[in-house]
Every structure is written in structure tokens, then in C-alpha cells.
Amino acid sequence: MKVVIVGGVAGGASAAARLRRLDEKAEIIVLERGSYISFANCGLPYYIGGEIKKKSALTLQTPQSFKSRFNVEVRVNNEVTSIDTAAKTVTVRTAEGEYTESYDKLILSPGAAPIVPPLPGADGSRVFTLRSIPDTERIREYVEEEFPDSAVVIGGGYIGVEMAENLKKAGVETTIVELSDHLIAPLDYDMACEVHQYARSQGLNLVLKNGVTAIEDNGGKMTVKLNDGSIETDMVILSVGVRPDTVLAKQAGLELNARGAILVDSHMLTSNPDIYAVGDAVEVTDFVTKQKAYVPLAGPANKQGRIAADNICGIPSEYKQTQGSSVLKLFDMTIAMTGVNERAAKAAGLDYDKMYTFNQSHASYYPGAHGISMKVLYEKKTGRLLGAQLIGYDGVDKRCDVLAVAIRAGMTASDLTELELCYAPPFGSAKDPVNYAGYAIENVLTGKIKAFHWDEVASLPRDGSVTLLDVRTPAERENGAIEGFTGIPVDELREHIGELDPKKPIYVHCQSGLRSYIACRILAGYGFDCWNLTGGYRFYSLVVKETKAMEHPCYGTK
């Protein structure tokens, strides 16, 4: 059997290695357009910022190492320009000329290309995109040799945010311009607010809800023209997203979706019985909503490569959908998510609710504990977990991974309460933040508490028909309080219970949602109809503050 693989990085290299492990006799040829195979795309921004010092650290394999370990023939600088599905051959272009290569089975793993929007000036010499090692070298050389003072990163997705951090670390004043109202699209706006405040505290300038209309470069400073205003800069990084790189698949007549992603079945087989496709080039099904989706991530690409190889070797393994688990670092902050966000849940018509919690990453008495902001989406009727977003500084990734497994296993919020997770003071708490999220949701689902959220606070009546109660201490209230809320510290609540009208619904908050929960249980014992602000004043105030800042006419300008 002869298998030809187009693309020698995440999906392609994974497929090649698995094929060899399953079939010692197969002829396996990897054709890679670029000069490198199996390189660490995900590490590229950190080479620009200097965190990864040696370029060699980015190249995980070479054609020679692949040959000696796997007996796979890797041909770099070999671009496949067409596929003849009838003859079962590919045409390959090299510096020396063209040739054809036959195949019994073909695997396409061509990845995704950065989107270059049709903006005047987007093709300028000081406008960069980041996909490959040569792209990375170009950016690093420019930073090291031209000493730019400033950079504008257009697009606040993962790559944009990682690039912004790394340019800042390389000493370049950096502004991120993002068309939507928040960075990192898989986060909801409210969770992103915490990221915005932190990003600014680290010296990044954010211009949100504003689009780029043109890039002007007449030597000297460039001008990035916005819908509203303009920014002077020395360089521009374009990171407005990626599109499946599927010119080849289209030419071969494979079925694509409207976005150009290749349609595959669960075995990664395309519409052609001899061609498989994997990675950033293919459409996937969302694990939670079961709707079609496009989720270009390394984990799915690597797994799909392995699955395509299995199927070619007669093992009918299946790719069981994508849930978008992802994580990124922003200076010292970790941001992680899995499953659906509110936007996706609404679009899919899911009857969901949400819970915000804020628990310490490990026992608070042990040094180095930090709060983890957690937002968990669940199905109202069943408690099934739908998605989670987490932000913090320590232990965020492991909590997100636990939630990713819980979602994959179809668990409910109540199941989270039963998870026995490892504990010692430097690592966690006897009741882990994940357990707490389960308890908080279970309390709502079992009617022990009613929850309200930050976005409902403004519309609560201030006409005396309901009681608004802040159970924090006077010192805490002095640092900021929500208008209309009366203060009675939770520890004094029983003494003051007679001052409250049990006939009126009572809306309670504290700093994080924990003391107000205790207050609600006390009040419930006295017959009150009680509501608890999830995430507490901390979360409410940071979202409100950020929202107000964004509405200010000077927002994002230096």
C-alpha cells in the first residue's frame, strides 16, 4: 500500500507516524510545501518574544529523523498543485520542476491560512501574518533589526493576544484592535472583561469595537486607519482569523462547505473513497450542540491524523466531535475554556443557565493561592454541563481539563460534586473549585437558592417593592457598593432580621457569592424569597467598570 500525505505538520505528521506503527511495509510519502515538518506552530509567538530562545526548539522532527525513526519519506519544499482523482496521482511542484506521484490512499492535512482582509495596505512590507517558521523569522528579524517602538495587532483572537504579549515582552508598545466588543472570541463578553483589565495592567493598549479600514505606509510611521480614529505604528500583525487552505481539495472536486472546509465523515473520509482529510482544513461537528463547526486547534488535528491512519489500515476508529477545549497564557494569566459559550448555546437553542464562582486555586493559607473566576453553563432541565470558561493565575488549566472530561462524559453539575480530585494544600482544597461549581449549581437546581446575574442588577426595582441587601462588611462597602443595596454584614444578619420585610423578595450579594449564599439560607429559614448574585460584587463591578470604560469616548486612545 502506498499512502501520500499532503502537509507535514500537526495532522500530517501524526498520520504518518501512526501509519508506520500500524503497517511496517506501507510506502509512506509526506509532501510538505514549506521547508520544515512537524514544527511547533503553537510555540511560534514565544520565539518572537524570546521565551523560546532557540529556533531549533521549534522543529520537533526533521525529514532525516522521520526517516530513521519511522521510515517515512518526507519531501520538504514539495508543493502539491493538483490531484487527479481518476488516475490517483498528485502533481508536485519543486524548485527543480514538476512530477507526479501515485497513491493508493491520500491524506490531506494542508491546514489553514491566515485571513488577509481586502484592506488597502494589507499587503505592505511591514504588515505581517504568522503561520510558519519563515513568518516567525521575518517578524523576529524585523523586531531585532529595525527596533520598532510600536506595533498594532489587528484581531484579538488567540494568536493576536499571544503575539501582543510577546511583542510587548520584546519591548514593543503594542495595541490590539478588535472589531467585536471583546478579545478571545470563545470567551463570553463578561469573562473577557477580566482579561481586558489585566491586559491593560500589563501595558497593552486595547481598541475594541473598532475596525481597521486601511493601512498607510509612506515610510516613517505607518497609519492604521480605524472606523473611529487612527493609530500611528511601526509594524502591523494581521491576525483576524484563519480559513481552511483547501484550494487543492476544491480543484479535486471534494465536497466542501460554504466556508471552504472539507466535508468528512467520522472516519475522516472525504467525498472521495480514497482521500482522507484532517485538521484545520475540515469541518467538524460540535460535541455539545451537534451542529457543524470549524474549530482549528492542534488537538483535533493530531487526533484526526491518527484516526485517518487507523482507517487506512483497516481499524474503523471514529472522530467523536470537537468541544473546543483550549487554553492560553497572557503574561501571568491563564485563560481556558471548553464546550459552548453563551452565544453558541443561544444559537443552538439550548435552554441553559449559568453559574459564576470564584474560589482559590489552592488552600488559601498556603502561599501563592489565587482566585479562579469560573463560569459554567448547564442545561436547566437536566443539569447537563454544556461549557466552562476559567480565568486565573494558577491551577486554571487543570480545572478546565476536569470540566472538559466531565462535559465529554455527559456529566451533570451534580456529578461534579462527587468528583474526588487530588488534594494537598499546595495544589487544591479539600473541596476543589470544580466541586464548588457543582455545589453552587446543584443548590439552584434543587431549589435551595435562586440565582441572579450581574446583567440583571440594573433592572432590579429600586421602588421598595423588593429588598436589596449587601452582606459584606462596612469596610468592603466603603471600597465600592451597588446603588440601592442596604448593608447588613452576614454575621449580623440574624440580629437585624426583624428589620427586613419577609413579604418582599430579597436580592442579596456579597463579594464573591459565598457569604450571600449563607445569608440566603439564613433568610430562607425565616421564610424569605431570596436571590443570590452569582459571582458577587467582584464580578459585577469589574464587568460594569469595563463596560462603562468602553462607552467612554476616549476608550482605547492613548
Ligand X SMILES: Cc1cc2nc3c(=O)[nH]c(=O)nc-3n(C[C@H](O)[C@H](O)[C@H](O)COP(=O)(O)OP(=O)(O)OC[C@H]3O[C@@H](n4cnc5c(N)ncnc54)[C@H](O)[C@@H]3O)c2cc1C
Q: Are the CB atoms for 281 and 111 separated by under 8 Å?
A: yes
Shortest Cβ 279–ligand X spacing (Å): 2
Q: How far is CA 313 from its chain centroid?
A: 34
Phi, psi angle pair for 372, to nearest 5°: -115, 120
What are the E-state strand segments in 448-513?
A: 450-452, 467-470, 486-487, 506-509
Shortest Cβ 457–ligand X spacing (Å): 36
Q: Note if 42 is an active site residue.
A: yes
Smallest CA-to-CA distance from 323 within 349, 377, 285, 361 is with 285
Q: How many CB atoms lie within 10 A of CB 18?
A: 21
Nearer to ligand X, 76 or 466 (CB): 76
Nearer to ligand X, 12 or 156 (CB): 12
What is the rounded CA–CA span in Å between residue 196 and residue 330? Answer: 11
First to last CA, the chain: 62
* Grid cell listed for 264: 468528512
Which residue among 42, 510, 530, 554 is the active-site one? 42
Q: How many CB atoms lie within 10 A of CB 229?
A: 12
Classified as helix, coil or strand, 278 is coil
Residue 92: C-alpha distances to residues 80, 89, 201 (Å): 4, 10, 50
Shortest Cβ 160–ligand X spacing (Å): 10
If phi over 0 gives left and psi between -120 and 50 gives alpha, with beta otherwise, what is residue 454?
alpha
Shortest Cβ 326–ligand X spacing (Å): 6
What is the rounded CA–CA span in Å between residue 325 and residue 286? Answer: 11
Shortest Cβ 386–ligand X spacing (Å): 21
Shortest Cβ 173–ligand X spacing (Å): 21
Shortest Cβ 239–ligand X spacing (Å): 8
What is the rounded CA–CA span in Å between residue 431 and residue 429? Answer: 5
Nearer to ligand X, 151 or 460 (CB): 151
Nearer to ligand X, 329 or 477 (CB): 329
Nearer to ligand X, 336 or 413 (CB): 336
Classified as helix, coil or strand, 252 is coil
Q: How many CB atoms lie within 10 A of CB 166?
A: 24
Longest CA pairwise span in the chain (Å): 90
Nearer to ligand X, 207 or 281 (CB): 281
What is the rounded CA–CA span in Å between residue 94 and residue 101? Answer: 13
Shortest Cβ 97–ligand X spacing (Å): 16
Shortest Cβ 287–ligand X spacing (Å): 16
Nearer to ligand X, 281 or 350 (CB): 281
* Grid cell listed for 276: 482522507
Residue 482: C-alpha distances to residues 471, 476, 485, 535, 544 (Å): 12, 12, 6, 14, 10
Q: Are the CB atoms for 226 and 211 separated by under 8 Å?
A: yes
What is the rounded CA–CA span in Å between residue 450 and residue 519? Answer: 12
Q: Which residue is nearest to ligand X (CB)?
A: 279
Nearer to ligand X, 41 or 417 (CB): 41
Nearer to ligand X, 6 or 416 (CB): 6
The enclosing H or E element of 101 equals strand 97-102
DSSP assignments along 348-385, one per residue: TT--EEEEEEEEESS-TTSTT--EEEEEEEEETTT-BE
Q: Are the CB atoms for 345 and 353 separated by under 8 Å?
A: no
What is the rounded CA–CA span in Å between residue 100 and residue 505? Answer: 76
What is the rounded CA–CA span in Å between residue 389 and residue 404? Answer: 10
User: Which residues 6+ apart lie within 8 Å of 58 measured at CB?
Assistant: 39, 40, 43, 44, 47, 52, 133, 136
Sheet holding 105-108, edge to edge: 73-75, 27-31, 2-6, 105-108, 275-277
Residues that bind ligand X (CB under 6 A): 6-7, 9-12, 31-34, 41-42, 44-45, 79-80, 109-111, 130-131, 159, 245, 248, 279-281, 296-299, 301, 326
Catalytically active residues, by annotation: 42
